[in-house]
Structure 1
């Protein structure tokens, strides 16, 4: 397997981000690959917030939420998917699949022995992450869900198809420029932090693959898993939930999230951020504070 590792100097002096890296190597089925995760707060904290980023981001996206969660006395773990952030990046596009990512995250949760987890998800963090609790039910207790979906073979509309085509036509997608367009309030240095993991096009196989993997047609890999997950959230989920929606998201905004809310048993009325777009974590301090207040964790 041809694997790239982003040089450490690419991650120096990132604005608003001073979290030390942590690594796991040798996860079962992923021998020879190194997975990065942020790990803040006490190891023996009563709760763990497991924050899963999506396309094309990495742990940097949660920089505004991590301090709010840790101030509540919790542990916060933010992994980077393989192909993203400070995790290793296999070069072959064909290697990346729904199960490749999902099985890695399950292995990481078990390896770190995470318990009493509040799952925090957005974008592919949700497409994958929302399928985890049904197979690790004793480890998950709460959910914070932002702009995402549980696709089961149906179209997500013209907006998503345009995005899929856009990425397919740009094998060297400029992630920093994309983030600055989506979140105009970002400084140039903050936007560049989202491009930091990718010195050149060879590092971007994972970025290229995620849009092509979304299950918008019957028979695609992952559909049977998301169907099982939908049933779990509808009939078996007994934990607390909190939903935040970036209203300016043209693909996974209020209409899609309203449908998802009906799937999640007991999900309350969402926090709708009228000025936020797809990357809700850029309003993360507000979202995290509201979620903690909802859960009764706020001081």
Structure 2
């Protein structure tokens, strides 16, 4: 397997990101993750999407730590500090899902709150049903379940078309457009893992992995997850919605809320877009009000 590994110097001095990198081997690949806080505390497992990486959670991590959580934030393979296979065929729904599950087992994470957005939700929302005893909370933002039996929205189809015609996607410029509040150095930090086009295979692959038919990879898992969340989920849930998201915004999140058993009305963030984690503090504050004390 031909694999690229982003040089460490690319990650030096990133604004707001003075966290210690940690690594684990999953098969032949090295996965990066952050692991902050007391090892005995309840866990906030923070899963990012495309084209971001764990840097996306830099504003939420201190708040979660202050509330008493241990925070674990991995980079999917192909993203961040994790290894980046060159062959596009390596990247499948099951490949990403199984790697996150392997990390959960390797760290023996328990009392987990799944914190997810974008692909962090597409993948992450299919995991608790097969690890029921490990999860007790959900904090979900601007994402969906890729069940393959529902039409994909025009916003997503436009995004997939853009991604497919942008093999060397300008991630800095994309983040500046999508999150205008970002400082130039912050927007550039999102592009740090990708020195050139060769490193962006995983980024390019994700939009084409969204299940768009019933027999697509991940579709059956996602339908089973839909049943789990609607019929068997007994934990606490909180939803935050970036209202300016043209891809996974209010209509998609309204549908997802109907799936999640006992999900309360969402926190609507009128000025936030797709990368809603950039709102940071308010999401954690309101979620904790809903959940109550962390024990």
Question: Smaller-chain TM-score range?
Answer: over 0.9
Q: Which of 237, 242, 249 lines up with 1:246 in the alignment?
A: 242
Deviations 1:162-198 (A, max 9, x none): 1101110111111111111100110110000010000
Instruction: Provide the alpha-carbon RMSD of the alignment.
Output: 1.1
Partner of 2:279: 283
1:105 matched to 2:84: no
Task: Trace 1:89-168 onto structure 2 (pairs within 5 A).
Answer: 89-153=84-148, 154-168=150-164
Unaligned runs of 5+ in 1: none
Runs of 4+ that moved beyond 6 A: none
Partner of 2:180: 184
**CA separation in 2, counterparts of 1:41 and 1:135?**
26
Residue 124 of structure 1: how far off its partner (Å): 0.3
Are the equivalent residues in 1 in contact too, given 2:60–2:284 (CA < 8 A)? Answer: yes
Are the equivalent residues in 2 in contact too, given 1:156–1:251 (CA < 8 A)? Answer: no
Partner of 1:20: 20
**CA separation in 2, counterparts of 1:297 and 1:18?**
27
Q: Which of 225, 229, 232 lines up with 2:225 in the alignment?
A: 229
Partner of 1:73: 68
The secondary structure found in structure 2 opposite 1:275 is coil
1:297 matched to 2:287: no
**CA separation in 2, counterparts of 1:196 and 1:287?**
26
1:85 matched to 2:64: no
1:62 matched to 2:57: yes
**CA separation in 2, counterparts of 1:295 and 1:92?**
42
Deviations 1:191-238 (A, max 9, x none): 000100001111111000000111123321110000000000010000
**CA separation in 2, counterparts of 1:148 and 1:22?**
27
Are the equivalent residues in 2 in contact too, given 1:48–1:115 (CA < 8 A)? Answer: yes
Residue 156 of structure 1: how far off its partner (Å): 2.0
Task: Trace 1:253-268 onto structure 2 (pairs within 5 A).
Answer: 253-268=249-264
Residue 297 of structure 1: how far off its partner (Å): 2.8
Deviations 1:56-85 (A, max 9, x none): 100000000000000012100000000000
1:2 matched to 2:5: no
1:209 matched to 2:228: no
**CA separation in 1, counterparts of 2:68 and 2:267?**
23
TM-score, normalising length from structure 1?
A: 0.97
